[in-house]
Amino acid sequence: MKSTFKKVAAVIVVIAISGTSLAVTREAKVEPKELLDIAFVDSFQAMRECVDGQRVGKELDTMRDKLSKEIQDEATKITKEEGDLNSKSATLKPDILAQNKRKIEKQKRDLEEKVRESEEEIKVAMQQRTEELAVKIEEGIVQVAKAKNVDAVIDKMTGRVMYTKDNHKGDITSDAIAYVDKKSSTVAQNDTTPRAATTTA
């Protein structure tokens, strides 16, 4: 009886060792996944802190301050003229008073138009300079990415991919297409499969 137990135990040990060896062999054959070297960049910070970005910021601030001062000076002038007119309105002839009031109302409308034009001027200038700066930043990012030999660069503020290598490493487009096609095919087959008729007792 003891001899039989020993033989069974020996067989189990051999099987266990064989299974382990097989598992190790299978593990050794598994191809390691292709790793991507991904870098990140904060494009907003780059635009804000680079020399050109600081220069553009100062230029826009100067333009904004200049236009704001012009508008403020004109508003102050109109307010003074209106106050002077009100203070002496009792001494003016009705037609002269009405004429001066129309003049001040026109000045107010002109000032409102100037405010709109100034806002549009600042907006256009900001957009133009920002686009020019963005092109420089993106060119710099691409050159640095190539120098560092990274596979991709992602803007961590927007999530946009700023750069990818041309070797298509890590590209899973074909896999995604195959998955969608397979899922669509399965759904189509399920829709066309005849269903068994249900009967009621």
pLDDT at 10 over 50: no
Q: How many separate domains does the chain show?
A: 1
Evaluate whether residue 163 is within a structural domain. yes
Evaluate whether residue 147 is within a structural domain. yes
Evaluate whether residue 133 is within a structural domain. yes
Q: Where are the alpha helices (DSSP H) in 2-93?
A: 2-29, 43-49, 51-87
CB 130, CB 47: distance < 8 Å: yes
CB 40, CB 153: distance < 8 Å: yes
Q: Which residues of 43-71 are buried (b: 16+ CB within 10 A; e: fewer)?
A: beebbeeeeebeebbeeeeeebeebeeeb
- Give the pLDDT of residue 200: 52
The amino acid sitting at 13 is V
pLDDT in tens, 154-173: 999 899 999 998 877 778 88
Q: What are phi and psi of 92, to 5 degrees?
A: -95, 150
Evaluate whether residue 19 is within a structural domain. no
Range of the domain at 158: 33-178
Evaluate whether residue 61 is within a structural domain. yes
What is the distance, to the nearest Å, from the Cα of residue 93 to the centroid of all Cα atoms in its chain? Answer: 63
CB 141, CB 41: distance < 8 Å: yes
pLDDT at 21 over 60: no
pLDDT at 7 over 70: no
The alpha-carbon radius of gyration of the chain (Å, integer) is 39
Please provide the average confidence, as pLDDT, over all residues in the chain.
83
pLDDT at 184 over 50: yes
Evaluate whether residue 56 is within a structural domain. yes
Evaluate whether residue 18 is within a structural domain. no
- Give the pLDDT of residue 28: 40
Evaluate whether residue 131 is within a structural domain. yes
pLDDT in tens, 78-123: 999 999 999 999 999 999 999 999 999 999 999 999 999 999 999 9
Range with lowest mean pLDDT among 1-5, 37-41, 74-78: 1-5
